[in-house]
Structure formats: structure tokens, C-alpha cells
Structure 1
Amino acid sequence: MTQEQFNTAIKLHHRLEALSKVKEEIANTKEHRLWYAEKRNSSYSSDDWSLVSEYKMRDISDILDRHDQMIRQEIDDEIANITKQIEEL
């Protein structure tokens, strides 16, 4: 294995770990849902974001749930792709 292949494998491994952690974190769909957040003021503090009210989101919940499933599938696809790339190295 060349140094370049090794470096690529390390990058892929880190990405695989990150995706796996996210997948595990969002595994229970009843406890996670896509949502919009809005910035309360123009500063760059992370505390300035708040979730849009459930009342406002209710009308698009089916759209958000559909995209949630698409994102989950994309995560699975990327994990499979990275695993394949690592095996090929």
C-alpha cells in the first residue's frame, strides 16, 4: 500500500465513522425529524438558532418525512460506497 493509498484509506475511514455515528444517532425515527431552524439575530453565536414552531411545520411534515427517508438512504448508500472503496484499496 502506498502512502497515498494509506492517506485515502484514513480519510475514508474517518468519513465512514462519522456517517455511522450519525446513522446510529438517528436510528429511531420516532425521536428524530427533519425541521427548520431560524436565526434570531445576526450574530454568529450558535445559541441564536431556534426551531420553527411545530404548528408552522405541521403542513409540510409529510414532505419533511419523505426527505428524511431519502437522506437516510443516501447515508446508507454512501456507507456502502466507502466500504467498497476501502476494500478496493
Structure 2
Amino acid sequence: MAKRLNNESTVGAVLQQIIQTNKLQPGMDQIDVKEAWRQLMGNGVNTYTKNVVLKGSTLYVELGSSVLRDELSHGKSKIIKMINEELRRDVVKDVVLR
């Protein structure tokens, strides 16, 4: 049985407690990383993005353009830094472009 929270908890604190108790953080990270990719990369890159998957701390991005894949491969460390800054914590440690 879950422990009772005091009546003065914020909604955010209650939601965070539910996420931690039910071990939902990996699923939330998956959603957050997909949204961060979409926002940070813009329409040009998103047009060629087929799939974005977070497995562990590795982000797998499937692209429909080999030219774009080559361009983005030069900036992997910048992509990792941008996504982690957007999420305000270290979620992504590596990026694999396919």
C-alpha cells in the first residue's frame, strides 16, 4: 500500500511520487526525449526523421536522408548536450544515427 502524502503536497510532487513508486521514469524519458528532438531539430530535420527511440541512455534516430545523417554525425556531442539541457538532467549519453 502506498504511503499517504500530507494534504499540502503540490500536484507536481504527487505526480513525481507516482512516477517513482510505479517505476515509470524510463517511459517518461522516452516521451520527453522524442519531444525534445522534435522541438530542438526543427522542421527541416523532422521531415527526414523516421523514428526516435531511447534505449537505456542511448538515443537511436532513424533518418531518411544519408546526407543529413552524415551532417548530424559531426555534431553528436552538441545534440547530446542540447537534449540534456532541454530535459534539465543527463538522460542521453550517446546518439546512434541510422
| Bucket of the pairwise TM-score, normalised by the shorter protein | 0.3 to 0.5
> Higher relative contact order at CA 8 Å, sep ≥6: structure 1 or structure 2?
1
Considering fraction of residues, name the structure with more helix: 1
What TM-score does the superposition give when structure 2 sets the normalisation length? 0.34
Considering fraction of residues, name the structure with more strand: 2
What TM-score does the superposition give when structure 1 sets the normalisation length? 0.36
